Structure 1
Amino acid sequence: MRHSEFWNRMYDHLGEGYARVWAGDQVLRELDGRTVEQALESGEPPKVVWRAVWSALELPASER
């Protein structure tokens, strides 16, 4: 998964305005207590970050 696909999925589920705010504020246990933005900035693959987001948002299996 590329960063652009990751952000498109975030926008689809949270909206363009809120997705970036959520990514900067929401600390996820699955990302070792980092925010989405911190995880991506530290080099975590977007696919790994997406799985954490998917779990946190309790999205359907089809969105995984």
Structure 2
Amino acid sequence: MRHSEFERAVEDEFGRGGAALVDDLALAEIGHRTAREALAAGVPPREVWRALCVEADVPLERRHGAGRLEPRR
């Protein structure tokens, strides 16, 4: 997962409130840092996405492949 895919996944899943979650929600699985802090520290976006999903109770079926664009035809 790229950073841009992470941002799309957050927007798709959480809407406009996603930015607040990324900036404010402490994620236990990545050392009680916010998603923004973890990304800045070099934690891979996929790992941050998974931690955010766990903390926010995102259903499993909406976690995999999130943020990807539709393939070009």
TM-score for the superposition, normalised by structure 1: 0.89
Correspondence for 1:6 = 6
CA deviations on 1:38-58 (whole Å, 9 max, x unpaired) are 000000000000110111111
Q: Which has the higher strand share?
A: 1
Q: Which has the higher helix share?
A: 1
How many percent identity over aligned positions? Answer: 38
Q: How many residues align?
A: 63
Residue aligned with 1:37, SS = helix
Of structures 1 and 2, the one scoring higher in RCO (CA 8 A, sep 6+) is 2
What runs of 5+ residues in structure 2 fail to find an aligned partner?
A: 64-73
CA distance in 2, matches of 1:57, 1:26: 9
Correspondence for 2:19 = 20
Select the structure of larger CA radius of gyration.
2
- Amino acid in the other structure paired with 2:54: S
Deviates more, 1:44-53 or 1:19-28: 19-28
TM-score for the superposition, normalised by structure 2: 0.79
- Amino acid in the other structure paired with 1:11: E
Correspondence for 2:35 = 36
Shift in Å at residue 18 of structure 1? 1.7
